[in-house]
A and B are shown apart, each in its own frame.
Chain A
Amino acid sequence: MSPDTLSGSTTPGPAPVTGDVDGAREPELYRRMRLIRRFEERVYLLYLQGEIPGTLHQYQGQEAVAVGVCDVLRATDWITSTHRPHGHALAKGVDLRAAMAELYGKATGCCGGKGGSMHLGDPAVGMLPAIAIVGGGNTVVTGLGLAFKLRHTDQVAVCFFGEGASNEGAFHEGLNFAAVQHLPIVFACENNLYGASTPFTQTSLVPDVATRGAAYGVRAEIVDGMDVLAVRESAERAVGEARAGAGPVLLEFKTYRFAGHSRGDVRGYRSREEEAEWKERDPIVRIRDRLAPVLKPGALDEVDAQVEAAIDDAVEFARQSPPPRAEDALTGAYATLIRGEPPS
């Protein structure tokens, strides 16, 4: 994937930072994480102001996972996502304007207003509409991998899911099936410690989801999900193995969502001390602190300004976009028109 696809073809997105750290992609990783963070903060305000309908499940704190993993994927690789998909979508290259417009429920949204926040996605960039059933992607992703295998391509599919999904049957069936079929899949678990309000320690006696890989003969790894370079490195290894035909890999990213589970969650189930500890490990601050001394002065501020401009543009685009036609709600359930679709 070209880094330029992050903000999409129709958006005047910020140019990649020219400064370089040992030839690595760190400035670009910073830009993407910053974009996701600011996107989430902005849409939360817009939601509170009544501009965005429905509900939101936000990704602040977990940006390193989506960005680090998607950075090693190709445009032809695919991802599945969850009810918390904004970060995955922006990292995989869903157009920023189309993503914003989808949250607004506009005709120009990437799903035409039929998907919304929880089904954000775009097949054009290799992302299924996000699957908002916990564990739902864990079985469907096996079919993506199976198709790649049957067609003898070297594509890879990545399934993002939370630690909560690892208590679903779908997690186990999907992992086992992928293993016995040697499918090119990376199961990317974002362990943010809470399934909605319930701590993972109350729902599993196994503290590490990665432990469950052994049950299916799947190599698993625990990774600091607050360190985008560690994420990227582990993903590069896992995706490489999957692409080479070595079968699936399970990556467990230890991470933390800074926001509540969904809008209106006041986070009474976890301590402010715990939150502060995790915020000390803010993945964006970490990469910024690492980059600032080696980039030319003001370079990162310039990136930030470009990100703000891109988001401003996307919000304005969404606001100005027309709503879908009401009657379009009644079409599109079937590929071939059926008599009386839908019954009147």
Chain B
Amino acid sequence: MPPSRPNAKRFIRSLSACLLLVLCAGTTAAQNADTSAPVLLTEADSIRAVALESVNFLRDPFTHNTHVAFNADRRTRVALFAMNIQLYAGEGANAFTAEAEDGARRVYPLEVEHVGPVPEFGGITQIVVRLHDQMADAGDVLVRVSLRGMSSNRVRLSVGHAGGGLPDDTGAVPTPAPPTSPAPRPQASPNSYTGPASAPDAVRFLEQATFGPTQAQVARVQSIGIRAYLEEQFNAPASGYPTLPLMPLDANLGCQGGDARVCYRDNYTMYPLQIRLFKNAFYKPDQLRQRVAFALHQIFVVSGRELNETSWMSPYLQTLDRHAFGNFRQLLYDITRNPAMGDFLSTAGNTKEKPNENFAREILQLFTVGPDLLHPDGTPKLDAGGNRIPVYNQATITNFARVFTGWGLAVPPPDTQGILNFADPMIAHERHHDTDAKTLLGGATLPPNQTTLQDLNAALDNIFNHPNVGPFIGKRLIRQLVTSNPSAAYVGRVASVFDNNCAGFYADAACPGERGDLRAVVRAILLDPEARGDIKTDPNYGRLREPVQFIAAMCRAFDARGIGAGGVIVESDGHLEPYATEMGQDVLRPPTVFGYFPAEHIVPGTTLKGPEFGILSSSTALRRIGFTAMMVYGNGIFRGKTIDTPEGTFIWFSSFMPLASDPARVVSALDTLLLHGSMSPNMRDAVTSAVAVIPPTEPNYLLRRTQMAVYLILTSPQYQVQR
């Protein structure tokens, strides 16, 4: 955490006298004492903030810059005051976000520079924010602060001039300070999550930790608690991917006789693995491992579109499964020697004569440290000129390219001609390995004349031990599982567990102090106070469900099935890939090493990161709706529609239809399972009244009503975002 600024310290020293007047002017107590949302203080009779320019303690309207250079940039800092804030160990300014919205609905993120108690007003917290560069004369703005996904009330203040802002938020009331200062709040102690879980938090947890909540799993989490459920998931055996036969490179040789089309599909395309991915997601109990492995696939990307054979992809997917709760260093090693990765990023056949930079660059940029030096909480370090500081340069890449020379595919099985060995890890060919000295990250050097494997291990140690790995990988995993815009404090907590699995709130009793323990990292991500809770009110919280998750969650919630021989109800055949592809996610075949969508994508019209929005467009958004219509109203994907859908996939509503005699009841049950009870009154009214329009006299009215509610919820923008 950066040290608090001198002006903030001065502020604390001399605030009391000034503040006494303001704070004691209030007569009614602030409400909301029983939730964890901060409450920003206002004047007694309006929502105008109790806010002071942080050096001279002047009230608003605030000038954009101070006349005296209290800071290098002269930008005005404003102190806001809040109640109902209880911090965890280590939480400071980086646990908070703040933003202001002006009369033109322009939103300005405000950097939170300092958070601390107000002397002699122990229950009041001051929050110092830096005015945004572009809000010079914004007039009235509404300001909120957020902590762990919970938003405060919005309060009004003026920048440049008073007036011209938005009207008060609906239902906003003055929140003046109480007549006497509230008692200081002790440091928060983390929930152990060993007791039974509430239904909303159980559903939210299952959205993050599985491919979608089911009524049965919600009940299970509620009864045994989140902590025990997590341990159950850690110990569930991997459902995994099949090991498939290596085939001749030439499909015409590999598929002679019989049905060549089926042979080609089953041996030279990703079909067998794509259907396995969906079937595992629908039916297999190791949900958390699958979800984490799919997240790792999107970090350590190998694309099936570059691989000739199905069997080449399996060992890669098995590696991700195997290490999903293992150690990151071992994962890095196995992935580096994996032949599919070797083929995809050109390590296989990489020689000292012409070292290939492909893997060298991506292992640094995408798999481990990222391009810029990071603070432990994932925020970029800046140089004196305000620029990011690169972790490596082209010379570093060239050196790592030389490290990764000498690798080649393992020897093919005996008596096989024209078959490449993509089953076993790559092997070293010392004569192709560059044995000169190499300079690695941080100026570390590899001595000359090491073997291919010695160089590899030393280089992987060098990368693995770089302090960037924890925050870089921690943030990527948080974004995959929980939220696209985590607070820096959340990233920092997860990174500290990556650095040492004895750190954090949820260390095992027998933790060995290990670095890179992914089980501990996943646990820290999912039990973090920013992940947990019945509801999140911060409007910036959440992540767009990616297409695979959208499809799987629908199929899990409504018990997807297929139809087998003789009309027997069986499992779905899992052939959902064409629909995910239409929605922009070609399963196991991402377009590039950057995955299905850009990791740093900014949602247009906002300042928020939203990687999954990289594939949500005017076209693909409608495909989500079309898929929902097909599944809810169109009887799904029917058996035998193509040769690739032998059993088809349909969803059914048998556990909800009996409730539909009462429209409010069926909507409420669906709200719980699909939106963890977060439906707004207006949306609830819209769904319920649409359901109620269908009269009991209409044929199949229970089904029709349930379909109506399910369609409206699944197609809603509210449902698209997991929050």
- Report whether chain A binds chain B: no
